[in-house]
């Protein structure tokens, strides 16, 4: 079931002792470059370097003592894995992270650094799900899905809620879309607290399954996505899709060149390290894919986890 | 004459409409890495990407209408030049920037982008000073020195003042030292508002003229400095040196490797783009050059202007 505003408000209180209330930042040269007044919600400055900590933290601290004691599990090699590992460590319970043996060493080290217990598997979705099921059977751990979970969606929605507390008069709010957890939480938080606000998503052209799903009226899988925005490769979920259908004005594809240009501009001028996925909604502004001239636009900067040895310029 | 706390408080009011009140940021992984509780005053997020805007803005808006109408001038190709150009533009008066013809194109473009009128000269100190004198003779512009000016020092001190307003209970405050404008302003602001606070400076080993000057009891010139921290190449000034002598506990040299390591860590983990000069006080913590274990340490992150095509790792 879709979370409500009450769920998001409860999440705010639940994660407050653990998550950062991230700053909202503005940059005059960015405003000039895109012709709008942009308010950057800096989730790159969130713990583990991504908004994902909000959802994972809300999920872990929603569990009963009994449930929590048996631990949590997910299959992920990205920001969600790190987020779940840290949230579990903060609650003092085990986090089992199923990762393909082919995952980059830096991602394995990051999860281990937050105390996650890694179980390796073959690099296929079937192997990941089978391995996760085995961990559940052996430990009784609770699965925390990266986006198709109402506790996770409610947690992700806290970023937009904070943004609108700081700047209640936004005209539009932009977020990237991968599995749709951030986007659906953002849409609920925004529309329930700022009626009339427009919620628009951006997606890489090379991974435009959410755009096509909205057009088709059903979830289309993400097949061989090709984009630098490696946080946005997944398909929508059964829980996130209807929320997005109901609440999101449109999903706008953006180019790879636009993603890189917007990302570099933010590094150079706003002095913030953001990952390609976070640059996706900025690319929508950068490329002026839709006319937002003169509007007050909130942007969820989703994260800042990049390999400094492999920058895309 | 050295500025007083009253001058710094006046500067706070004077620059308020133009300068950012920059956020103070913390990073749990940085704290663990250095064994202290670190509060980062993010002047990399200041306008023009550096604290220099505070001093230039205070100087420009301190001028009478008559003085201001004749414009301002400096010889600089660094952050101060951009800061002065922007401050003058905000007041609607000309900024004459004397730059060596050999300055990098990106620096010329940045100054021109803020509306500065560039006068080129030969790349020697004599030529720069002679050219600046000629501009003054021709235009009546007021010279705004990058650090040896009480209005500039007072402006730079506003960063520490804001930091201590947000976190009054710091044990130590760290700043880098080049010409000493930031350091002397920081020391006055800190000691006059938080009696007993320790003020410590960090300087690259390859440009340790301030360290040697303090030991010698007189200003020693910066001769052939070699460091990646290109904002810290200058010698102390007649105005900044006695303030530093009186108020700064010590100046600590740090290694180039420490500067790069601290800089990279902040990019990777704190997600902030900082320039090498800003990493110099962090290198002091990183290398544990002095024992600050367990203390609450404020750090002025001086700026974030770097060439993303030429990163030092």
Residues of chain A above pLDDT 90, percent: 93
Residues of chain A above pLDDT 70, percent: 100
Q: Could you tell me which CATH class the domain B5-50+150-310 is placed in?
A: alpha beta
- C-alpha A95/C-alpha B85 separation (Å) is 53
Mean pLDDT of A89-93: 98
**Nearest chain A residue to B263, by CA:** A308
Instruction: Choose the catalytic residue: B41, B52, B107, B108.
Output: B52
Best of A271, A303, A304, A312 to mutate (most B CBs within 10 Å, chain B): A271
For the cut 90, the answer to whether the pLDDT of residue B14 exceeds it is yes
Residues of chain B above pLDDT 70, percent: 100
Per DSSP (E only), the strands in A37-139 are 37-42, 72-75, 95-100, 117-121
For residue A19, the model assigns a pLDDT of 97
DSSP letters for chain B:
----HHHHHHHHHHHTTTS----EE--HHHHHHHTSEEEEEEGGGSGGGBTHHHHHHHHHHHS-HHHHHT-EEEE-SSHHHHHHHHHHHHHT--EEEEEETTS-HHHHHHHHHTT-EEEEE-SSHHHHHHHHHHHHHHH-PEE--SSSSHHHHHHHHHHHHHHHHH-TT-SEEEEE-SSSHHHHHHHHHHHHHSTT-EEEEEEEGGG-HHHHHHHHTSPPP--S---S-TTS-SPP-TTHHHHHHHH-SEEEEE-HHHHHHHHHHIIIII-B---HHHHHHHHHHHTT-S--TT-EEEEEE-B----TTS---
Residues of chain B above pLDDT 90, percent: 94
**Nearest chain B residue to A44, by CA:** B271
For residue A57, the model assigns a pLDDT of 98
Given this chain, do its domains B5-50+150-310 and B53-143 carry the same CATH topology?
yes
Q: Residue B107: pLDDT band by 50, 70, 90 thresholds?
A: confident
pLDDT digit string, tens, across residues B43-67: 999 999 999 999 999 999 999 999 9
For residue A69, the model assigns a pLDDT of 98
Task: Check CB contact of A267 with chain B, cutoff 8 Å.
Answer: yes
pLDDT digit string, tens, across residues A191-249: 999 999 999 999 999 999 999 999 999 999 999 999 999 999 999 999 999 999 999 99
- Chain B residues in contact with A17 by the CB 8 A cut-off are none
Mean pLDDT of B126-144: 97
Q: Does B309 contact A309 at a Cβ distance shorter than 8 Å?
A: no
pLDDT digit string, tens, across residues B215-255: 999 999 998 999 999 999 999 999 999 999 999 999 999 99
Residue indicated by tokens 């800096």:
A42
Q: Residue A272: pLDDT band by 50, 70, 90 thresholds?
A: very high
pTM attached to this predicted model: 0.93
Q: Residue B91: pLDDT band by 50, 70, 90 thresholds?
A: very high
For residue B9, the model assigns a pLDDT of 98
pLDDT digit string, tens, across residues A290-299: 999 999 999 9
Six-digit token string for B244: 């530093």
Question: B53-143 has which CATH code?
Answer: 3.40.50.1100
Task: Check CB contact of A312 with chain B, cutoff 8 Å.
Answer: no
For the cut 90, the answer to whether the pLDDT of residue A154 exceeds it is yes
Query: What's chain B's average pLDDT?
Result: 96
**Complex confidence, ipTM:** 0.91
Q: Does B273 contact A264 at a Cβ distance shorter than 8 Å?
A: no
- C-alpha B238/C-alpha B181 separation (Å) is 11
Name the minimum distance, in Å, from the CA of B246 to any CA of chain A: 34
For the cut 90, the answer to whether the pLDDT of residue A107 exceeds it is no
**Domain extent listing, chain A:** 5-50+150-310, 53-143
pLDDT digit string, tens, across residues A28-82: 999 999 999 999 999 999 999 999 999 999 999 999 999 999 999 999 888 999 9
Instruction: Choose the catalytic residue: A41, A52, A107, A108.
Output: A52
């Amino acid at each position: 079931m879709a979370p409500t505003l009450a769920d998001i408000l409860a999440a705010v209180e639940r994660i407050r002792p653990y998550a950062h209330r991230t700053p909202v930042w503005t940059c005059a040269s960015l405003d000039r470059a895109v012709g709008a007044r942009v308010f950057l919600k800096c989730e790159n400055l969130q713990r583990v370097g991504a908004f994902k900590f909000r959802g994972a933290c809300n999920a872990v601290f929603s569990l009963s003592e009994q449930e929590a004691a048996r631990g949590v599990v997910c299959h992920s090699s990205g920001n969600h894995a790190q987020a779940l590992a840290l949230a579990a460590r903060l609650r003092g319970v085990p986090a089992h992270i199923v990762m393909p043996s082919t995952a980059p060493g830096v991602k394995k080290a990051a999860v281990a650094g937050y105390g996650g217990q890694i179980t390796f598997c073959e690099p296929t979705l079937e192997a990941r799900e089978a391995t996760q099921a085995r961990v559940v059977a052996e430990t009784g751990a609770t699965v925390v899905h990266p986006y198709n979970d109402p506790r996770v969606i409610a947690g992700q929605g806290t970023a937009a809620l904070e943004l609108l507390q700081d700047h209640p008069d936004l005209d539009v709010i932009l977020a990237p879309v991968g599995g749709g957890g951030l986007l659906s939480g953002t849409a609920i938080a925004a529309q329930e607290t700022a009626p009339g606000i427009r919620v628009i998503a951006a997606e890489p052209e090379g991974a435009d399954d959410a755009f096509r799903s909205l057009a088709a009226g059903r979830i289309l899988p993400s097949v061989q996505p090709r984009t630098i925005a490696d946080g946005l490769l997944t398909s929508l979920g059964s829980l996130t899709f209807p929320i997005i259908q109901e609440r999101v004005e449109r999903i706008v594809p953006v180019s790879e060149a636009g993603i890189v240009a917007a990302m570099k501009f933010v590094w150079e001028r706003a002095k913030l390290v953001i990952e390609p996925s976070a640059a996706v909604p900025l690319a929508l502004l950068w490329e002026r894919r839709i006319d937002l001239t003169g509007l007050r636009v909130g942007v969820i900067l989703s994260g800042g986890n990049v390999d400094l040895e492999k920058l895309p310029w």
